[in-house]
């Protein structure tokens, strides 16, 4: 199937644009962060820049999506990539001329990510249009798989480039935006804009995007489950360093091992997802697998401090293999099922709402955990999180929510 996908010229061009984009973003994540701190010597400003990086996704993506729905997605993607490239080029020029002020770091990251708030929902809505019905599962999954590989490559390249020259890293990042725009421009496709959506005014489309949660029960279940899984995953991310160092008295290598295992498992499950999707029901992949994996993961983590050094190391690897495979299946399922659950006319708005809700929960949860840590220890937090995951399994089983996704998938298969 993957070999046949490569013969699809439009998909090939879009795939190249997406992987080049992801490669550049991964370089930028390291280079811009490094430049911010080395230029300003302010940890506080670095934190503000991080917040400025997240805020456009939370605030603007839901607001931008109704506008995107009324436009041709291909043009939105091209103009967004060109605009981001020009912004980054201006940043590099100011840096080279020694004209940058500290506040400009916040402004540039906020502006670039605000532009991306238009690019992301346009990309989500455009991808299915270059694929036939038979190609969708494999095509969407392979797009995500390729992007993950480029994220790894970009992260590694970014670290090496920053060591040589942060400015060179930023220049390569800038070039990837223009390359992405070029690849998208090569796509030859007659886009059809939904006339009902185009005829509506902005506020009606914006309202329709949020009301869609109530109209499409499969999407509502989908977004609730996804947000819950993201929230549970965020618990470990928020206290990982403190848990490894303060509770387990282990080195930072444990964090590196965990990240490597999670990434590799994610890539493996994405690669084999098309075959898994033919054998496993949507409800099983979306509810039973991720929540069962998280329950085992957190309940086991809460007792790790009682193990000796070698047992701890072995248990650590096994737990992250379990979590990596479970979360990998869930991630692949989300990427593929999203465009199946959501009607084409709502894809941009649904992506905006989904990304906004998924992003806003991370800093909120981290803040809550910071407060809870004043009262209870990390292993106790993990134990409570594990119990919560078990409760989620029971709630989904009793409510029969999974049957909605199964019925939706069966209905689509017969269509």
Report the C-alpha gap between 260 and 141 in whole angstroms: 20
Residue 415: per-residue pLDDT? 47
Asked if residues 68 and 117 have their Cβ atoms less than 8 Å apart, the reply is no
Residue 201: per-residue pLDDT? 57
Q: What is the pLDDT of residues 12-37, one digit of tens each?
A: 899 899 889 888 887 777 677 777 76
Percent of the chain with pLDDT over 90: 18
Return the HEC string of 224-258: HHHHHHHHHHHHHHHHHHHHHHHHCCCCCHHHHHH
Give Cα separations from 259 to 108, 208, 252, 263 (angstroms): 29, 39, 11, 6
**Band (333; pLDDT cuts 50, 70, 90):** confident
Collapsing DSSP states into helix, strand and coil, what is residue 200?
A: coil
Residue 327: per-residue pLDDT? 84
- For the chain, the domains span 2-188, 210-414
Percent of the chain with pLDDT over 70: 77
Q: What is the mean pLDDT of residues 260-266?
A: 77
Asked if residues 94 and 187 have their Cβ atoms less than 8 Å apart, the reply is no
Fold matches, 2-188 and 210-414: yes
**Which of 175, 181, 155 minimizes the C-alpha distance to 31?**
155
Sign of the CA dihedral running 38, 40, 42, 43: negative
The CB-side HSE value for 284 (13 A sphere, CA atoms) comes to: 6
Q: What is the pLDDT of residues 171-188, one digit of tens each?
A: 988 999 999 999 999 998
Q: What is the DSSP letter of 307?
A: S
Question: Which residue carries 């670039």 as its tokens?
Answer: 112
Q: What is the pLDDT of residues 133-175, one digit of tens each?
A: 777 777 877 777 787 777 767 766 766 777 778 788 889 889 9
Q: What is the mean pLDDT of residues 219-245?
A: 76
Proportion of the chain in helix, strand, coil states, percent, rounded to 5: 85, 0, 15
Residue 414: per-residue pLDDT? 43
Report the C-alpha gap between 152 and 263 in whole angstroms: 8
Residue 301: per-residue pLDDT? 92
Residue 212: per-residue pLDDT? 62
What residues have CB less than 8 Å from 24, skipping those under 6 apart?
154, 172, 173, 174, 175, 176, 177, 180
Q: What is the dihedral of CA 371, 374, 376, 380, to 10 degrees?
A: 50
Report the C-alpha gap between 282 and 279 in whole angstroms: 10
Residue 411: per-residue pLDDT? 59
Q: What is the pLDDT of residues 59-92, one digit of tens each?
A: 777 777 777 877 888 999 999 999 999 999 999 9
Top-ranked range on mean pLDDT: pick from 211-225, 248-262, 283-297, 343-357: 283-297
Instruction: Select 2-188's CATH number: 1.10.10.10, 3.50.50.100, 1.20.1250.20, 3.30.465.10.
Output: 1.20.1250.20
Phi and psi (nearest 5°) for 247? -95, -50
Instruction: Compute the residue count for the chain.
Output: 415
Please give the CATH architecture assigned to the domain spanning 210-414: Up-down Bundle (1.20)
Report the C-alpha gap between 406 and 400 in whole angstroms: 10
Token digits of residue 223? 């977004």
Residue 388: per-residue pLDDT? 92
Query: What pTM does this model have?
Result: 0.63
| 44 pLDDT more than 50 | yes
Q: What is the mean pLDDT of residues 292-321?
A: 92
**Band (96; pLDDT cuts 50, 70, 90):** confident
């Amino acid at each position: 199937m993957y070999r046949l996908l490569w013969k699809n010229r439009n998909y090939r061009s879009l795939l190249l644009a997406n992987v080049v984009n992801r490669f550049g973003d991964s370089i930028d994540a390291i280079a811009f962060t490094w430049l911010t701190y080395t230029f300003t010597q302010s940890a506080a400003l670095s934190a503000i820049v991080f917040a400025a990086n997240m805020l456009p996704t939370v605030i603007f993506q839901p607001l931008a999506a109704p506008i995107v729905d009324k436009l041709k997605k291909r043009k939105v993607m091209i103009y967004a990539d060109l605009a981001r490239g020009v912004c980054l080029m201006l940043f590099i020029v100011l840096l080279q001329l020694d004209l940058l002020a500290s506040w400009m770091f916040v402004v540039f990251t906020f502006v670039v990510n605000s532009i991306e708030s238009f690019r992301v929902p346009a990309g989500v809505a455009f991808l299915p249009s270059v694929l036939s019905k038979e190609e969708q599962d494999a095509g969407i999954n392979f797009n995500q798989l390729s992007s993950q590989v480029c994220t790894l490559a970009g992260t590694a390249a970014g670290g090496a480039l920053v060591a040589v020259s942060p400015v060179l890293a930023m220049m390569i990042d800038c070039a990837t935006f223009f390359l992405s725009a070029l690849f998208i421009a090569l796509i030859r496709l007659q886009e059809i804009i939904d006339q009902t959506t185009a005829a509506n005014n902005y506020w009606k489309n914006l309202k329709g995007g949020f009301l869609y949660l109530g109209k499409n029960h499969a999407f509502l279940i989908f977004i609730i489950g996804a947000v819950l899984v993201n929230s549970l995953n965020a618990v470990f991310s928020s206290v990982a360093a403190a848990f490894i160092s303060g509770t387990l008295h282990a080195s930072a290598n444990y964090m590196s091992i965990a990240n490597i295992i999670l990434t590799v498992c994610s890539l493996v499950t994405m690669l084999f997802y098309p075959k898994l999707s033919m054998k496993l029901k949507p409800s099983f992949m979306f509810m039973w697998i991720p929540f069962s994996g998280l329950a085992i993961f957190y309940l086991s983590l809460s007792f790790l401090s009682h193990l000796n050094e070698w047992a701890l190391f072995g248990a650590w690897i096994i737990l992250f293999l379990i979590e990596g495979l479970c979360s990998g299946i869930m991630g692949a399922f989300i990427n593929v099922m999203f465009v199946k659950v959501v009607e084409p006319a709502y894809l941009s708005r649904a992506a905006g709402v989904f990304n906004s809700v998924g992003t806003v929960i991370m800093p909120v949860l981290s803040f809550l955990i910071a407060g809870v840590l004043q009262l209870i220890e990390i292993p106790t937090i993990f134990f409570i999180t594990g119990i919560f995951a078990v409760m989620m399994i029971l709630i989904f089983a009793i409510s029969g929510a999974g049957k909605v996704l199964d019925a939706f998938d069966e209905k689509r298969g017969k269509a």
